[in-house]
Structure 1
């Protein structure tokens, strides 16, 4: 992927392995934001109709990235948590109903469901340990289970779940399927139709290489009207351009979840970032990330006393590999890496690396050398 190196002119010596947290922008994204800022300085919103054309193009790029049936299924939201909240507080819950999640979820995909406790909704946490985590999740279903909410990839371990199998299990048990896709969308091929999900959501600032403050919410067409709305404004109306009309109704499309003025600055940035992923091609992005995770796995296994906490099987891997060093604390290891400009994260039982498709293998070698030196110190 060296042909895209010019898109990531990072400072010399930087080893950026933290795309599962916040990713660097491609150069084209910075250029798009700069041009938008300069336009605002010189002519303000004179060309606002052109902005709407770009926003529409962003919706189409997101539709393709998720393989949603229609752009009408796509809402532009502030973040994953907002989209999860639309689902949690939009469904009409009955006391005694259950939500199944895993015991490894990021707080965004746990707290929002636990917040339904005053309504009598029960959250069932299921262990993903063992050879068949999907079976563990599906075995937790009871006649009272209404929704399965799961991350496509677990943020700390990098465990990738078989979403199609889970989707089929939900269909057989008449359970709604909600996917937090933030650790997969932009890193691996993702397909809401093949997965059979009711809802999917993700932020743009990780694997999609975009800014914070703008994400995507997919809501299956037959479920949109079933989610009660709690945010209202001019932008979510069916006839949003008719400011004088006294009669109104929510938009039939997923725009019904976008209550007010859009994040145009974020849209300019994310649209540019997604254009790069489209140019590379998601199958190629996935293959390149897999090659880098395999390379890191083999390199870490050659270092004495390294303990891997991520799956070793290719079908279970995504863009995350988490490890620790026996005899040294994770805080010490993380500090040593940070000192040598290895940008990573301390998550779960260890330190987490998350390269993207463009990450040079030389950067992986340098990061591994830092760990080897620290392990021998």
Structure 2
């Protein structure tokens, strides 16, 4: 019997190449949830202080994972959309201001900015896919009224990866806020918020970080954090949250100011276990393995006359995502055939999107290629 990674005991007939959508949980995360359930079932909140320690441990590991300055810069929100909304509706906009984003962004990083039109804010969508220099195309769109440049680190449709350091350096010079939707990079490729000079970075935990839905990392640089007005208030976002009788309360100086109410301790227990697995495996090892996976798939697609590669093959653009299409089979029919044969993938960007993780075994790629050849 072919062996799987011990942390991912998937069913025998499944080839899981869909981490850019929703990841399976590793065994350690499932065990963490079962233990959390057992504690709740038998002892209620008896171990709440231990749960709070787990929450802080997660905050510190996420801080290390993204090279933030302090765990005080990390908030735990519900999802990427909430984080981007905190930014968009926390800034003091003036009519005539604008936001620059890449064209064809995922709706989370598009709708929220477009919703500001009622405040007189323009959203400029820049075609980076056909530009000779994607980063320069974005930079050229910035002007004195650009308040925010907001980009996905990796495009969800085809895995196109941006040079975030170049963009961050430019934003710093122009005094433009740099916002990064990092959901398709954190957990797959190394990510350094300090090195890219991001003001804010947001990422759900249910993709490459292999956690459950409903919990997201929200990073804010301290100076930039203070630019955001708060639109949600509750007991937990103050300096002394357990002093329930306080009257002269003060908003937390940390990123916890964005966490207005009770935490999602169930998801925290699971994501904490997943991030431990990432840490123990090593982010550099994961980064290199995933890029090897990507190159392997690109080589196969590029050398097969029946398929057309839709992702970039340039080394600096590679990520964990590869998108392709068949030259003679309709995309919807191709997707149906692949999924019927057990391949977990996605229909995105007018093609089939594959996104394997570090734990996918060599034999799984062999099965993938055999399946593609058979069609």
Return the TM-score normalized by structure 2. 0.98
Alignment gaps of 5+ in structure 1 = none
Give the structure 2 partner of residue 358 of structure 1: 359
Maintained 8 Å contact 1:159/1:317:
yes
**Alpha-carbon offset, residue 144 of structure 1:** 1.1
Deviation at 1:303, TM superposition (A): 2.1
Number of equivalent positions: 373
Residue 39 (structure 2) aligns with: 39
Match of 2:51 in 1: 51
Aligned residues of 2:39 and 2:47 also touching (Cα < 8 A): no
Q: Deviations over 1:136-159 (max 9, x none)?
A: 000111111111000000000100
Q: Does 1:275 align with 2:276?
A: yes
State how 1:218-257 maps to structure 2 within 5 Å: 218-257=219-258
Match of 1:335 in 2: 336
Number of the residue aligned with 2:75: 75
Q: CA deviation at 1:44?
A: 0.8
Distance 1:97 1:3 in 2: 55
Q: How far apart, in 2, do the equivalents of 1:348 and 1:295 lie? A: 20
Q: Which has the higher helix share?
A: 1
**Who is 2:85 aligned against?**
85
Q: Distance in 1 between matches of 2:4 and 2:251?
A: 42
> Which runs of structure 2 are paired with 1:146-157 in the superposition (5 Å)?
146-157=147-158
Which residue does the alignment assign to 1:60? 60
CA displacement at 1:302 relative to structure 2? 2.6
**2:333 counterpart of 1:302:** no
In 2, Cα distance between equivalents of 1:46 and 1:171: 47
Contact 1:300 1:368 in 2 (8 A): no
Contact kept in structure 1, 2:4 and 2:361, CA below 8 Å: no
- The whole-number CA distance in structure 1 between the counterparts of 2:199 and 2:293 is 32
Write the distance in 1 (CA, Å) between the matches of 2:17 and 2:359: 11
Distance of 1:151 and 1:229 partners within structure 2 = 24
Distance 1:50 1:199 in 2: 29
- Aligned mates of 2:144, 2:223 — CA distance in 1: 22
Rounded Cα–Cα distance in structure 2 between residues aligned with 1:223 and 1:103: 25
> Could you tell me how far 1:104 is from its partner in structure 2?
2.3
Moved more, 151-160 or 129-138: 129-138
CA contact (8 A) 2:98 2:124 kept: yes
Q: Which runs of 5+ in 2 are unaligned?
A: none
Please list the CA deviations of residues 317-358 of structure 1 after superposition, one character each: whole Å capped at 9, or x if unmatched: 100000001121110110000000000000012010000001
Displacement of 1:250 in angstroms is 1.1
CA contact (8 A) 1:93 1:121 kept: yes
Runs of 4+ that moved beyond 6 A = none
